[in-house]
């Protein structure tokens, strides 16, 4: 097989699996969560899926990437996700990027940058750092326009009130929304 054909096959595969991640992001959107979705793929098969569930589960680690990585590890029967590619609609945060390095993830493919908290190069690059014993290959920009459209719609909905702001509704009586009850 020629290298051009392999690259073409990889690009088509990247788009197909990013569509799966986008479907997960839409599930998050439907729940009023920031619409980020992820799928973990091993040898052409989805072995883990996830979408943001931070607000609905009250769990600060319930990011799409973490959900997909946990499910992939359970499917594989171990924490090492060698030869696994994670497709995510948004650049990972430092927590998720750290988990990818710890899992020995082979490759990350994502759609849009996160200029405020991205840890794959936007604010810091934890995935390619020579300080760690493992580096993750990164491909950016797959289906970026489609993902950006979904993100724009979500944040417009927050601003116009058609999507509820969960954080404000969770404030306990007598506490300000940003006070820690513990």
Burial of 18 (0-12, 13-18, 19+ CB in 10 A): buried
CA separation for the pair 82, 165 (Å, rounded):
38
Give catalytic residues, as residue numbers: 65
Distance CA 84, CA 156 (A): 34
The answer to whether residues 104 and 69 touch, using CB atoms and an 8 Å cutoff, is no
Q: How far is CA 79 from CA 39, 72, 85, 105, in A?
A: 16, 8, 14, 10
């Amino acid at each position: 097989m020629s290298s051009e054909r392999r690259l073409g096959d990889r690009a088509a595969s990247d788009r197909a699996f990013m569509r799966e991640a986008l479907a997960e992001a839409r599930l998050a959107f439907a729940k009023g969560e920031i619409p980020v979705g992820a799928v973990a793929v091993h040898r052409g098969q989805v072995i883990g899926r996830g979408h943001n569930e931070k607000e609905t589960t009250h769990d600060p680690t319930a990011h799409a990437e973490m959900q997909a990585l946990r499910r992939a590890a359970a499917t594989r029967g171990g924490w090492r996700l060698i030869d696994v590619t994670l497709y995510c609609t948004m650049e990972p945060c430092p927590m998720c990027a750290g988990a990818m390095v710890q899992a020995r993830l082979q490759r990350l493919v994502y759609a849009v940058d996160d200029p405020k908290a991205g840890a794959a190069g936007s604010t810091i690059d934890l995935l390619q750092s020579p300080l760690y014993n493992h580096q993750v290959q990164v491909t950016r920009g797959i289906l970026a326009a489609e993902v950006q459209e979904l993100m724009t719609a979500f944040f417009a909905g927050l601003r116009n009130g058609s999507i509820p702001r969960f954080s404000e509704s969770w404030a306990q009586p007598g506490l300000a929304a940003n006070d820690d009850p513990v």
